[in-house]
Amino acid sequence: MEELLRLLAEDASGSELARAAGEDAVARDLALRIRAGIDASKKREAELSALVDVARELASARDPGGVLDTIVHRARTLLGADVAYLTLYDDARGDTYMRATDGSVSAAFQQVRLPLGAGLGGLVAKTYKPYWTADYPADRRFRHTSSIDHAVGEEGLVAICGTPLIVDGAFVGVLFASNRTRRPFSQDEVSLLGSLAALAAVTIVQVRAAAETAAALDQLSAAHAGTEHAAAAHDRFAGIVLSGGDVDAIAAALAELLDVWVVLVDAVGNELAVAGDTRGAVVRWQESESGRLTRVGDSWVVAATAKGERLGALVIGGVDELSGADQRIVERAAVVTALVLLFRRQAAEQSQRAQADLLADVLSGAADPRTLTDRLRLLAPNRRHDRLVVAVCRGDQAAVRARLAAPLEDKLVVSGPYGGDLVLLLARADASAAARELAEVAKRTGATIGVTGPAAWGEPLVDSHRQAVRLVGTMLRLGRSGESATPDDLGVAGLVGAADVDVQAHVQHVLGAVLGYDAQRGTDLIGTLRAYFASGQSPTRAATALHIHPNTVQQRLDRIGALLGDGWQAPDRALDIQVALRLRSALA
């Protein structure tokens, strides 16, 4: 057995382990199972690393053709396939056509079109679901056509796996991996191809959007041909968009080009970007309703609109007059700004949908935690998720999202709707601290927020979410809407609603201020508090029981009030304190 352990530690092969086990069948089987588990873990790690590399490579690609070539090459490499190819949806003709291949040798195959529902790829395009087969020519599940079978036969393909490319519910195309010999595709391989397809779909849409932006800028340049200054502005804005720049860079470029100050606000007046010297400036934006530059007092305003929707406004100042060419530059900047704001919102919406899907799978408890972990790493690569605090928000979800700000936003790992509530998973080690940070959000939005945890990823997190849902229900029944609380904040009611109670932590939450004071100063305020409640909240009877003067008891009670806060003698708070005293005695 020691020899087997040594070989496992040295990453020995399965055959070496089998030889070392000899006649001991049990030891051999156990060692081979451990070896298989190690190999599977390494494979998952390698696949995840490869997907991250693919994401980086796709993110840096700007040419649509280059993106597609990268996708099919990576698919062929990751799955060890003979041929990989990608078809795109033709909205005008209602079918898909071959757009990129890797490993293909047949001209007929490279020009084939797939009607919806025909062949394996047509079925994927029609149903938006992945399909795979070890022997396509003999598989009767698919509707075979002469043109498709001829192309597949000329390429010599036998085993085929196809998965859809979908973004925002819209079908983009199909990604395939195939072999020229019989080969079954495992669930892991299908899942890996699906992950690559998801990355590919988003990248294709983003590259298309960037190309459309560049085309829009070219049209603007042609329509407003002017001075060299205007041409330089066009090139500057185009470079910002195509390099992935945000509205800050557009505002800075505009301020530099025209030697002005620039303020960008959103549709409700929130400041999004500032450039130039705005000291003493009065920013007025409400008056601008069109895409034309308008003089407002000492400044100019132009609305940033896209698809008929006003997304914000650019306010320009710091200069007495703007020439006609300069005014067109500002209007061009507003168009570019609107496009960037629209892309940013679409990206945020895509991220929110992906987070909502992940959150539903996590909290349902039905999916494999390892697969969910891989998805989380792709969505939030720089967020820790070993222990998470759960916040269930019941109320105006949009208002809660809008109020989330640093440091909460910096610690937000996943958020989304679930069970009619907004659920936040926060990388926090202390639920009480998270509840305090969320208190202002609850107060301003009127939402009721229950906070539990921290809990480990998997079933403990599911249990913590259930506890948070019960907590919110208890808070509403107690009339504590518009607040943020942990189970400990509800005292006895919180203990009753909790599935699992840390009694020591609860006692510390209720009596910690008094216990800490006693520990630091060597006093016994906790004993006075116990005697006070034991005597029916009578300072005189408590003084008799403690053999001290009533004035001394009153002085101690005043100190206790300062530590516990106003209202500690009210019925609800008094009950919580008495229960905590009893629990402390039981622990002692």
Question: pLDDT tens, 69-97?
Answer: 888 888 888 888 999 999 988 888 889 99
Tokens 């500032």 locate to 274
Please say whether the beta carbons of 255 and 275 come within 8 A.
yes
The two structure tokens encoding residue 163: 């998965």
Q: Can you tell me the mean pLDDT for 382-391?
A: 76
Confidence of residue 144 (pLDDT cuts 50, 70, 90): very high
Distance of alpha carbon 200 from alpha carbon 380, whole angstroms: 18
Assign domain 504-587 one CATH number from 3.40.50.1100, 2.60.40.10, 1.10.10.2840, 3.40.50.10470.
1.10.10.2840
Predicted pLDDT of residue 208: 64
Q: What angle do CA 130, 134, 139 make, to 5 degrees?
A: 85
Report the C-alpha dihedral over residues 20, 22, 28, 31, rounded to 10 degrees: -10
Predicted pLDDT of residue 48: 45
Predicted pLDDT of residue 532: 81
Predicted pLDDT of residue 81: 92
Q: Is a pLDDT exceeding 80 seen at residue 456?
A: yes
Domains of the chain, by residue range, sit at 2-59, 61-208, 224-346, 382-490, 504-587
Give me the phi and psi of 395, to 5 degrees please: 150, -145
Which spans in 80-145 are helix H? 107-110, 119-127
Distance of alpha carbon 244 from alpha carbon 222, whole angstroms: 23
Distance of alpha carbon 154 from alpha carbon 142, whole angstroms: 18
Q: Is a pLDDT exceeding 90 seen at residue 156?
A: yes
Q: Is a pLDDT exceeding 70 seen at residue 380?
A: no
Do 61-208 and 224-346 share a fold? yes
Q: Is a pLDDT exceeding 80 seen at residue 312?
A: no
Which helix (H) or strand (E) is 302 found in, with range?
strand 299-306
Comparing 433 with 16, which gets the higher pLDDT?
433
Please say whether the beta carbons of 191 and 143 come within 8 A.
no
Q: Can you tell me the mean pLDDT for 478-505?
A: 69
Q: Is a pLDDT exceeding 50 seen at residue 451?
A: yes
Predicted pLDDT of residue 84: 94
Predicted pLDDT of residue 244: 65
pLDDT tens-digit series, residues 16-61: 656 665 666 666 666 666 665 555 555 554 444 444 455 555 555 5
Nearest to 305 by CA among 338, 337, 346: 338
Assign domain 382-490 one CATH number from 1.20.1250.20, 3.40.50.2020, 3.40.50.620, 3.30.70.270.
3.30.70.270
Predicted pLDDT of residue 368: 67
Confidence of residue 143 (pLDDT cuts 50, 70, 90): very high
Q: In this structure, is the dihedral angle defined by the CA atoms of residues 75, 80, 85 and 89, taken in order, positive or negative? A: negative
Cβ neighbours around 288 below 10 Å, total: 22
- Among 151-160, 303-312, 384-393, 506-515, the range with the most confident prediction by mean pLDDT is 151-160
Q: Whole-prediction pTM value?
A: 0.40
Confidence of residue 310 (pLDDT cuts 50, 70, 90): confident
pLDDT tens-digit series, residues 552-564: 878 888 888 888 8
Predicted pLDDT of residue 154: 93
Predicted pLDDT of residue 534: 81
The two structure tokens encoding residue 350: 């895509």
The two structure tokens encoding residue 22: 């000899």
Q: Can you tell me the mean pLDDT for 370-388?
A: 66
Tell me what percent of the chain is helix, strand and coil, each rounded to the nearest 5.
55, 20, 25
Least confidently predicted of 236-245, 440-449, 461-470, 570-579: 236-245
If phi > 0 it is left, if psi is from -120 to 50 it is alpha, else beta; for residue 395 that is left
Tokens 């490279």 locate to 110
Give the mean pLDDT of the chain: 76
Distance of alpha carbon 31 from alpha carbon 9, whole angstroms: 11
Least confidently predicted of 178-192, 279-293, 331-345, 398-412: 279-293
Assign domain 61-208 one CATH number from 3.20.20.140, 3.40.1350.10, 3.30.450.40, 3.40.50.970.
3.30.450.40
Q: Can you tell me the mean pLDDT for 167-174?
A: 82
Q: Can you tell me the mean pLDDT for 114-124?
A: 91
Q: Which fold has domain 224-346?
A: Beta-Lactamase (3.30.450)
Predicted pLDDT of residue 228: 55
Nearest to 375 by CA among 457, 314, 437, 448: 457
pLDDT tens-digit series, residues 510-538: 777 888 888 888 888 888 888 888 888 88
Predicted pLDDT of residue 216: 57
Comparing 353 with 435, which gets the higher pLDDT?
435
If phi > 0 it is left, if psi is from -120 to 50 it is alpha, else beta; for residue 280 that is left
- Per cent of the chain over pLDDT 90 is 14
Q: Can you tell me the mean pLDDT for 403-416?
A: 74
Comparing 223 with 109, which gets the higher pLDDT?
109
Predicted pLDDT of residue 79: 87
pLDDT tens-digit series, residues 235-281: 677 666 666 667 777 778 777 777 788 887 776 667 777 777 766 65
Predicted pLDDT of residue 553: 79
Q: Is the link from the previous residue into 454 a cis peptide, with omega within 30 of 0?
A: yes
The two structure tokens encoding residue 579: 């229960």
Give me the phi and psi of 51, to 5 degrees please: -65, -40
Please say whether the beta carbons of 322 and 258 come within 8 A.
yes
Cβ neighbours around 108 below 10 Å, total: 13
Distance of alpha carbon 184 from alpha carbon 273, whole angstroms: 54
